[in-house]
Amino acid sequence: MIATPDRTPLAREFFDRPVLDVAPDLLGRILVRTTPDGPIALRITEVEAYDGQNDPGSHAFRGRTARNGVMFGPPGHVYVYFTYGMWHCMNLVCGPEGRASAVLLRAGEVIEGAELARKRRISARNDKELAKGPARLATALDVDRALDGTDACSPEDPPLTVLTGTPVHSDQVCNGPRTGVAGDGGVHPWRFWIADDPTVSPYRAHVPRRRRT
């Protein structure tokens, strides 16, 4: 018998830990996005850890900017960034305040509100592809920069929150290099995913972008 997922919101203390502890522990948790049309919930199946100024792959590697400021804030907040001029990606801030680190949510299984997610992800061939990749996940959940800085641990019904769900046993957690990360940051095996889960995105190594001549 499959246990019913725990719907208790994760406390801020969950996120107030080293990023490499938080990242794999997010697998199996339930992310809920409350929209005017109703809630969308997904089970987190793939994440990547980014360790701030200790990590060449992190947006915070060179220090604080207007763009990455939320990463330096209290744990349990949402960091949303815009990339390639077209996509949003969502992260959960962790670690102590003032030390930037965050977990990128790379993929998940939509378990509630699939009809709402399908309206935003009309190119998905099936429901397994609704949130298969970080940009697809943000699109399916209607996440953009307006939600940057959201306190996912707020007791006042935030638009994004994370529930306890059903944590994944360690023998079902895989890890490997992060997708598309260049240089020294590309060697860290800080991508974590649930073994054999069909919603996990494919790994792609970094490919340098060609300059226009």
> Does any domain span residue 3?
no
Q: What is the per-residue pLDDT across 156-201, written as a single tens digit (0 to 9) for each?
A: 999 999 999 999 999 999 999 999 887 777 789 999 999 999 999 9
29: containing domain: 16-194
| 102-112 vs 38-50, strand pairing mode | antiparallel
pLDDT band of 4, cuts 50, 70, 90: confident
> Does any domain span residue 118?
yes
- Residue length, the chain? 213
Q: CB of 117 within 8 A of CB of 141?
A: yes
> Does any domain span residue 201?
no
pLDDT band of 148, cuts 50, 70, 90: very high
> Does any domain span residue 63?
yes
> Does any domain span residue 209?
no
Q: What pLDDT sits at residue 211?
A: 53
Q: CB of 30 within 8 A of CB of 165?
A: yes
Q: What is the per-residue pLDDT across 68-106, written as a single tens digit (0 to 9) for each?
A: 999 998 999 999 999 877 899 999 999 999 899 999 999
Q: Which two tokens stand for residue 84?
A: 């390639």
Q: Which two tokens stand for residue 69?
A: 């400021």
**CATH code, 165:** 3.10.300.10
Count structural domains, the chain.
Answer: 1
